[in-house]
Amino acid sequence: MTRPVGCALWLSIMALATGGSGTCFAQTYLQGPPGEPLSPSSQNWENSLQNWKNNPDNWQNSSANFQNRSQDWRNSPQNWENSAQNYNNKNGIYDRNGNRIGYAVPRADGSGINFFDNSGRRIGYQNDNNR
């Protein structure tokens, strides 16, 4: 799965999960190796918290890491690139009603994406599986 497709899939799931209750998600399999489907399930090693690269205790993923906090200018809601008032920005996350609920910022080291709500609170992260 390419990075933009994976990011779009994750963003749409995040928007649905925060947009309403009673949403049901179907198990999806996407372009795995021949005979071995790639599952978004947490039971899949690539998505498992037991995999160190996904673990929140990994410094790269940690909220204590300054590069993952909204106090870092790249991640700040005060930064025009992340601002809800900037109607031309390309990193907004929207719910299914079209309301902006947050924004996504690529990590400085290129290892993934941090997700923030509109007030700058970090609500999640995604690792770049191609690294």
User: For 52-83, how does the pLDDT look when each residue is reduced to its tens digit (9 = 90+)?
Assistant: 777 777 887 787 888 888 888 888 888 988 88
Q: How far is Cα 25 from Cα 37, in angstroms, rounded to an integer?
A: 18
Q: Is the pLDDT of residue 29 over 60?
A: no
Q: How far is Cα 80 from Cα 76, in angstroms, rounded to an integer?
A: 9
Boundaries of domain holding 92 = 3-19+26-127
- CB environment 82-107: b (16+ within 10 A), e (fewer): beeeeeeeebbbebeeeeebbbbbbb
Q: How distant, in Å, are the alpha carbons of 1, 20, 67, 114 from that of 8?
A: 11, 19, 22, 14
Q: For residue 129, what are its two tokens?
A: 């599986």
Q: How confident is the model at residue 113 (pLDDT cuts 50, 70, 90)?
A: very high
Domain count, the chain: 1
